[in-house]
Structure 1
Amino acid sequence: MEPDYDAIIVGAGFGGMGAAIELKRLGHGNIAILEREDDLGGTWHVNHYPGLAVDIPSVTYSYSFEPNPRWSQLFAPGGELKQYATDVAAKYDLKRHMEFGTVVDGAVWDDDAQLWRVTTHDGVSRTARYLVTATGFLSQPHVPDFPGIGDFAGDIIHTTAWPDGRDFTGERVAIVGTGATAVQLIPELAKQALELTVFQRTPIWVVPKVQLSIPPQVRELFARVPLTQKAARLVSGSVLEVLMVTGVLHFKQFKLGNKGAALLAKAHLRNQVGDPQTRRKLTPTYDFGCKRPTFSNTYYPVFNQPNTHLETSSIVRVEPDGIVTEAGKIAVDTLVLATGFDLWDTNFPAIEVIGREGLNLGKWWREKRFQAYEGITVPKFPNFLSLNSPYSYSGLSYFTTIEGQMKHMGRLFGELARRGKTTFEVTEEANAAFLDDATERLDSSVFYSGDCASSRSYYFNKSGEATLLRPRSTASTLREMGRFPLDDYSYR
């Protein structure tokens, strides 16, 4: 049976776009990219709250094969990332393959026809030889179920559904959460709110941000001599690599490096916050790297302002006119939820995927441990590529992960064509060996050799395993993704 498409890609963010570019390069041009939102860009389309910016230097947070000489700052604002996605889609003619406002319910492998049957919320069914899920790691917003939250009389705003132009002047605002999103948003809210209460459950490590504007002359140089931007990317990537690989993944061997990063963050806090009690509340009790740290020069100073209050008491309930904590009631007009994303309950996978023998991927992961060979394929799921999988995230830039997976696809599909076959499936032996190796390597990481007990980090799944990051250097990851043993797959 001939399918409707060579491949269906779920998600039109940078991961899905990278997969589409690689598939088209490999000769699979009949593709459909199904996206639930009304435009492309993934998280950079959904998120547009005040202060939004990338927290990785922009020369690194981009495709290496598609450098952008137009970044205005070292850490580009969110709007520029959205524009970059639009420009890349135009250059590689991707938008004509995209269907927006299309919510995928699930996909089932048809072993007799050797294809995937994908159903969408509107009842339409599509078939494809290959299925690629590119739904992102942070795509399912988490909304806390505080008692009484449904009775709150004011506005409740989640950061993923930000009302552009919203003015908070004269309002008593409460924000729940102090993760990377909140670190960017809180200084902006404090500029307008009459009173701002920050509800913190777990403090975050914050280090100084070297925020520099990129002068027009430098941008022109990047455009005329691309090698200069490649050199800047190399320097930026190397610094991030040292931070990630030595300080986090090789914590056992390089504890001093990790402690040095923590000391830098503590000095930054001490230099920017005057009140000792507030500093104590803002100081993490877990090791640096257990939870993703962030960069900011404007977050800590907010807590010196008379209109901003740090609240660490647990929320008991929400009432129509405020929030009741263990320490008392706080009057609130508007509630902002910077509560992040539901990573492990609803995002692995984000849709129902049924493989051979009726195997449900979500249930299998939860019953048999989260796992994926090279962070991209799973046994008993033929012709399936899961881009946001366990052990897939490499380095600190998501684009490292994307390009490694593109390399893997190129080698895999090349061998498939050489053998004259149409179906691939990773062997259970190869998958088990990869899982054992990843588990062993992670033993040296801060996640298992450090103190992460109080971090409440999304790096850990419900079983307490840190199964999100690939425990390899960027260079090693890219090398392995392009050189894995071809016999680790079976071909039909």
Structure 2
Amino acid sequence: MNTQYEAVIVGAGFGGMGAAIQLNRLGYDNLLILDRESDVGGTWHVNRYPGLAVDIPSATYSYSFEPNPHWSRLFAPGEELKRYAAHVADKYDLRRFMRFGAVVTGAEWDAEHAHWTVSLRDSAPVTAKYLLTATGFLSQPRKPDIEGVDTFAGAVVHTTDWDDDCDLTGKRVAVIGTGATAVQLIPEVAKAAAELTVYQRTPIWVSPKLDFRVPKALQRLFAALPLTQRIARLAGTAVLELMMVSGVLHYRQAPLANKLAEQWCRAHLRRQVRDPELRRKLLPRYTFGCKRPTFSNDYYRAFGKDHVHLETSAIRRVDESGIVTADGNRREIDVLLLATGFDLWETNFPAIGITGRNGRDLGAWWRENRFQAYEGVAIPGFPNLISLNSPYSYSGLSYFTTIESQMRHIDRLFTAMRRRGATVFEVTSRANEAFLDRMTDRIGDSIFALGRCATANSYYFNPHGEATLLRPSSTVNAFREAASFPVDDYSYA
């Protein structure tokens, strides 16, 4: 059986494009990028709800080798991220590899032919020597398991499937959810709705957002002198590292950083919410960092408006025209907005069925043997697989630090394989177990082990209660190890 492609990449978001760019640099040109959506961009193609913007400084949320000097704001709106994705696809000539509307249903390792067979919903399977999964962490929408949602007669809109024809002007609107998406959405909905009720399960830590329009003169400076933008990127990264690495992952060694971040957020809440009872409801009861924090200058203010209501009683059921809470209160609504986030663990690890050597099912193996991946990319028993959305892969707060450290790993691994005249790689169980032990030890110093996280309902924790999404190290460490890991941690054939 002939192998059709050198590599199949599942996902045409920033992770998949980064992998394709790196493979091109290594000389691989017979690639296929599959994506179920209609265009590039991943989450920035799917999401288009009002208020959508990147929630970290734009300069840090881009490839370091492809800076964008033309961000209009410090925190760029979503449509600019979508345009940036299209720019990258065009500049690096990636569209010739892309096939859209291609729903991957599974992949299986064929030991006889030493390649992967990738199954598609509406077309014939394809084969490739290497499989790279870049399905994103935020790719599987979570629908709330609430009685009666399907019986509601009005419009029901999930933020990942925004209906541009849904006019909220003068409507009675309900939003379920108060995560990072809702923090951006709620102030915008409040501007249009006649009445807005927000149903909160878990409050979120919110920091002031130092956002501003980037002057054209500064954009021209960034374009003319890229070093100036690199300096801005380093400054933004340093702040994010302080919050995530020092305050969250190194909590035992630097508890003061976490305390300062928490007090900063508390002060922001006090400034913007004068009503002590409302402030009590909006104040998280879990330690800062147990759940991803966010930035906003408008979220708390929205609850100060007379037509905006915060409901903290659990939802009992939804009927044809309203929502009933556990305390018996019922509120009539016209539109139901679901800002209920994403299902990371149950449907996203992995996002497709992957069967490795000797019939090993990746999803079942993870659930039976703990969630794990060597350096966040490789799993024993799965030859020639690079899993870009794996346990311990996410580094820092910017997804691009994760992507670029993984690109370095691919470069070192594929170069070592070629040097040996091999075409198959597989991480050894010994190396994987040593890495898992090291990550487990480091998590013991983090807020996830030492803080009050039980009430956070955080996607950082897997179904076993372990915080295995984030790599418990600095971005500098992740980059260093990606470029220097022992190549003998893999076997080659």
Report the TM-score when normalising by structure 1: 0.99
CA distance in 2, matches of 1:90, 1:374: 30
CA distance in 2, matches of 1:291, 1:222: 34
Residues 180 and 101 from structure 1, CA distance in 2 versus in 1: closer, same or farther, beyond 3 angstroms? same
CA distance in 2, matches of 1:243, 1:263: 13
CA distance in 1, matches of 2:424, 2:122: 29
Q: Deviations over 1:404-434 (max 9, x none)?
A: 0000000000011111110000000000000
Please list, as runs of the form range in 1=range in 2, the aligned pairs for 1:447-486 lying within 5 A after superposition.
Answer: 447-486=448-487
1:192 corresponds to 2:192: yes
Counterpart of 2:417, as a letter, is L
CA distance in 2, matches of 1:144, 1:235: 39
Q: Deviations over 1:17-52 (max 9, x none)?
A: 000000111111100000000111000000000100
1:11 corresponds to: 11
Residues 218 and 165 from structure 1, CA distance in 2 versus in 1: closer, same or farther, beyond 3 angstroms? farther
Q: CA deviation at 1:2?
A: 3.5
2:134 corresponds to: 134
CA distance in 2, matches of 1:138, 1:401: 14
1:421 corresponds to: 422
Q: CA deviation at 1:150?
A: 1.1
CA distance in 1, matches of 2:445, 2:266: 24
1:280 corresponds to: 280
Counterpart of 2:389, as a letter, is N
Q: Deviations over 1:99-149 (max 9, x none)?
A: 000000000000010000001001411000000000000100000121111
1:313 corresponds to: 313
1:41 corresponds to: 41
1:82 corresponds to: 82
Counterpart of 1:336, as a letter, is L
1:390 corresponds to 2:359: no
2:362 corresponds to: 361
Please list, as runs of the form range in 1=range in 2, the aligned pairs for 1:86-485 lying within 5 A after superposition.
Answer: 86-327=86-327, 328-485=329-486
Counterpart of 2:418, as a letter, is A
Q: CA deviation at 1:453?
A: 1.0
Counterpart of 2:355, as a letter, is I
Count of aligned pairs: 492
CA distance in 1, matches of 2:3, 2:405: 28
Q: CA deviation at 1:329?
A: 0.6
Counterpart of 2:13, as a letter, is G
Q: Deviations over 1:170-205 (max 9, x none)?
A: 211000000000000000000011110000000000
The secondary structure found in structure 2 opposite 1:297 is coil
Q: CA deviation at 1:165?
A: 4.9
CA distance in 2, matches of 1:463, 1:355: 23
Q: CA deviation at 1:266?
A: 0.7
CA distance in 1, matches of 2:260, 2:236: 19
2:30 corresponds to: 30
Q: Deviations over 1:254-297 (max 9, x none)?
A: 11211111111111001001211000000000000000000000
Counterpart of 1:433, as a letter, is A
Instruction: For structure 2, list consecutive stretches of 5 or more residues without a partner in the other structure.
Output: none
Q: What is the aligned-residue RMSD (CA, Å)? A: 0.7
CA distance in 1, matches of 2:449, 2:473: 16
The secondary structure found in structure 1 opposite 2:463 is coil
Asked whether the 8 Å contact 2:242–2:257 carries over to 1, the reply is no
Tell which deviates more after alignment, 249-258 or 47-56: 249-258
Q: CA deviation at 1:316?
A: 0.5
The secondary structure found in structure 2 opposite 1:8 is strand
Q: Deviations over 1:44-74 (max 9, x none)?
A: 0000001000001010000000000010110
CA distance in 2, matches of 1:422, 1:89: 28
Instruction: For structure 1, list consecutive stretches of 5 or more residues without a partner in the other structure.
Output: none
CA distance in 2, matches of 1:145, 1:445: 31
Counterpart of 2:323, as a letter, is I
Counterpart of 1:144, as a letter, is P
Q: CA deviation at 1:167?
A: 1.8
Asked whether the 8 Å contact 2:380–2:429 carries over to 1, the reply is yes
Counterpart of 2:369, as a letter, is K
Tell which deviates more after alignment, 140-149 or 130-139: 140-149
- The sequence identity of aligned pairs, in percent, is 63
CA distance in 1, matches of 2:257, 2:22: 37
Counterpart of 1:33, as a letter, is I
Report the TM-score when normalising by structure 2: 0.99
2:56 corresponds to: 56
CA distance in 2, matches of 1:298, 1:324: 28
